[in-house]
Structure 1
Amino acid sequence: MQISFLTSRRGPSRTGTNAVSQGESAVSEHTIKTLDRNYRDPRGIPVHVTGWDRERDQVIFMRPNYPHECMQPVWKFQQFFKRVEV
């Protein structure tokens, strides 16, 4: 199953350890795409996907009755989670 918002694979944006000396900013481009989608985990429990972290290649989601964000690598999310149409 292919998930359209999770298909991009980006490698590191910088090579080497002297990126700042080459004129680049020391602050990382931490890009998270905000999403609002519903899925079911492998046990059938609904989860709410809130974002996709492009830099770390992770899906960010919330579980019911759990106050903290959860994260899974994109490949694992694509393999084990199923989208629920509302």
Structure 2
Amino acid sequence: MDLLDFSTPKLLHKYGSWARVQVAFYDFIFRQGSGMCSGCFKDKALGEVLEGFCDGGGVYEETVKAIENIYPNPQDAWCAFMDEEAR
């Protein structure tokens, strides 16, 4: 089982810092869960806010549920992220 490690040399070289690696990981799981790029996800959440006078949480909650269905634990999500990084 791979542990989540935001400071591996290869990832640090690619992204520049552990914080940027973490952001890339979260972008990855939200892309997988929502089927959208991060910009499209933000646009959809903003549309929910503007159309329904709510906080955009519906889109977020739907995506979180999808992520949990795809990846039952953080290690599975991390392994998928690392597989994508290896391509």
Q: TM-score, normalised by structure 2?
A: 0.26
**Structure of greater relative contact order (alpha carbons < 8 Å, 6+ residues apart):** 2
Bigger proportion of residues as helix? 2
Q: Which has the larger radius of gyration?
A: 1
